[in-house]
Chain A
């Protein structure tokens, strides 16, 4: 009988190449499937916007007429304007306030902070319908003093209620990452605390502020239920308008056109942003090289 040699396997080495290959194939399949799942509805909306016919169950002919029509649809334009108005104001305010609130919360002792961060989660996790309805109850109490409160004001307030927590949440981790000495150094140099906050801390947490802003905008722009309960005086945003129209009458395909444009412009913005980023980095590297050569 031949003596068997110890193989690599016996030494604990295992060959993963086959498994790896299977994983690679599976991976590609999964990525495609997920992107498909996430984007199929967006694609269908785009197809509906390019359909000449108003009938969304059948594609008749390619046409861009609904894109031109966006500006002629008065109610739609008003709803779009209102959406940008509310989400714009709410996002700017939420970013601004949320950042400073986060800094304030971060200055608290850890024990106290944990409790407040817990409450901060409530608006994020609470059911929309509960938040919407209960905020309306609150604002109705204020109506005794301010009878014309419902409309832009209540809508912005309601949006602030659920957007600020997102900003606080995304700023907080960045605050923890900042070097505590940074602030001290600035103070030692005689800079006043609030000036130091703006000059030193804010730039350090920029990324967190930005992603918080993005999340706030995302949540605000698509909100329906909360807006629905808290609007008034004919101030309807896009989702309220769509819901009301889709329930009884026919939606103009221009809505699909607008939705598609929004997605396309965002994608385009992203590409430009990433291109600029690359350029910036490229230039930095170049500078470094030149400096390197010079020295």
Chain B
């Protein structure tokens, strides 16, 4: 590409540098100081007193819950999402764009509405029961299973898109060659297709893992407020205007995010599958 076009990237570089770094630094500053809405910069005091929040049992359990559910959600999304992405890739239906749009279409409806409607049909007496006469989901409202179901099917589209993007780039001739060499279809999949799609799997996993880890709406609604995620606590802190605590926990989450971004670059240098 013509080097002349480099200038086109300039404004974006300025924009990204400001909007990525300044806020992160501000968050870190808030988390280690007494800075909040009523303290002006003049009487700023650096203190690490907020850090005792990290040892509170609810904080630790919330982290454990977030990590546990984020991991499980990623695993389920991976198994189911990979399968669908692979089927879309194999499908004889020409217009793959339509299939992919069908997968992301539910995301156009408001997340809270979708989650509330899930919570509705997961409780003992609900609208589906009044039509069908029986309970489709049993009575799983308020349990971990309900939360898991909601998380998996909310974030799976990210996994499907990423894996599909990676699969699409695989040359079909490679697969044929593998079959010609006598590999069984299963072996062919594990030795040829899967390694080549790993990039997409890693990206997809991160795209599922991170929002689950930091989210709060879905677990709050589907667990009927009984399973606390770290996002729930962060939200509470911001709502009750304790910005210092909120920022501190957000910075911890930020470390997970930066870690993920570094991991991502190992597998996918330019985030090609990050879609």
**Whose C-beta in chain B lies nearest to the C-beta of A39?**
B106
Contacts of A34 in B (CB 8 A): 80, 83-84, 156
B24, B123, B185, B261: most-surrounded residue (chain A CB, <10 A): B261
* Stretch of B13-21, B42-50, B54-62 with 4 or more beta carbons under 8 angstroms from chain A: B13-21
Q: Chain A contacts of B243 at CB under 8 A?
A: 133
Instruction: Find chain B residues with CB under 8 A from A243 CB.
Output: 112
Question: How far is A123 from B274 in the complex, measured between Cα atoms in Å?
Answer: 12
Q: Is the CB of B275 within 8 A of A169?
A: yes
Contacts of B272 in A (CB 8 A): 169, 172-173
Cβ of A4 < 8 Å from any Cβ of B?
no
In the bound complex, what is the Cα–Cα distance between A243 and B153 (angstroms)? Answer: 21
Within the complex, the shortest CB–CB distance from B78 to chain A, in Å, comes to 13
In this assembly, does A290 line the interface, its C-beta being within 8 Å of a C-beta of chain B? no
Asked if B9 lies at the interface with its beta carbon under 8 angstroms from chain A, I say yes
- Residues in B with CB closer than 8 Å to A222 are 107-111
The distance in angstroms between the C-alpha atoms of A283 and B181, with both chains bound, is: 41
Per the bound structure, the CA–CA distance linking A107 and B206 in Å amounts to: 28
B104 on the A face (CB < 8 A): yes
Is A242 positioned at the interface, with any CB of B under 8 Å from its CB?
Answer: yes
In the assembled complex, the Cα of A87 lies from the Cα of B124 at a distance in Å of 38
Listed stretches A70-78, A108-116, A148-156; interface member: A108-116
Residue B143 interfacial (CB < 8 Å): no
Number of B interface residues at 8 Å Cβ cutoff, please give it.
96
Decide if B39 is an interface residue (CB 8 Å cutoff): no
Closest chain A residue to B30, Cβ basis: A137
Q: Does A287 have its Cβ within 8 Å of any Cβ on chain B?
A: no
Q: How far is the CA of A120 from the CA of B9 in the complex (A)?
A: 12
| Complex alpha-carbon distance, A106 and B121, angstroms | 49
- Cβ contact within 8 Å between B131 and A107: no
Asked if B238 CB lies within 8 Å of chain A CBs, one says yes
Chain A nearest Cβ from B18, distance in angstroms: 8
A42 to B80, CA, bound (A): 19
What residue of chain B has the Cβ atom nearest to residue A168's Cβ?
B12
With known contacts A193-B2, A215-B275, A104–B108 Cβ distance under 8 A: no
Complexed CA–CA distance, A137 and B156 (Å): 32
Q: How far is the CB of A51 from chain B (nearest CB, A)?
A: 7
B9, A45: Cβ atoms closer than 8 Å = no
Instruction: Report the Cα distance A187→B13, complex, angstroms.
Output: 27
Nearest opposing residue in chain A for B117, CB measure? A44
Contact A239 B108 (CB under 8 A): no
Q: State the Cβ distance, B14 to closest chain A Cβ, in Å.
A: 11
The smallest beta-carbon distance between A130 and chain B, in angstroms, is: 5
Q: Indicate if A67 sits at the interface (CB-CB under 8 A).
A: no
Q: Mark B2-16, 1 if CB is under 8 A from A, else 0.
A: 111111111111001
- Known pairs A127-B214, A137-B23; A108 contacts B112 (CB<8 A): no
A133 in contact with B121 given A193-B5, A243-B112, A255-B113 (CB within 8 Å): no
Say which one of B94-102, B170-178, B190-198 lies at the interface with A.
Answer: B94-102
Contacts of A42 in B (CB 8 A): 105-106, 109, 114
Write the nearest CB–CB distance from B147 to chain A, whole angstroms.
Answer: 14
A84 within 8 A of B: no
Residue A31 at the chain B interface, CB threshold 8 Å: yes
**Additional pairs, 11, CB under 8 Å, beyond known A107-B1, A114-B270, A134-B27:** A41-B153, A42-B109, A44-B121, A57-B126, A107-B5, A108-B9, A125-B207, A128-B214, A134-B24, A137-B23, A242-B110
Chain A contact residues, CB within 8 Å of chain B: 12, 14, 16, 27, 30-31, 33-34, 37-42, 44-45, 47-48, 51, 56-59, 97, 100-101, 103-108, 113-114, 116-131, 133-135, 137-138, 161, 164, 166, 168-170, 172-173, 175, 180, 183, 187, 193, 197, 201, 211, 214-215, 218, 221-222, 224, 238-239, 242-243, 246, 255-256, 259, 262-263, 266-267, 270, 273-274, 277
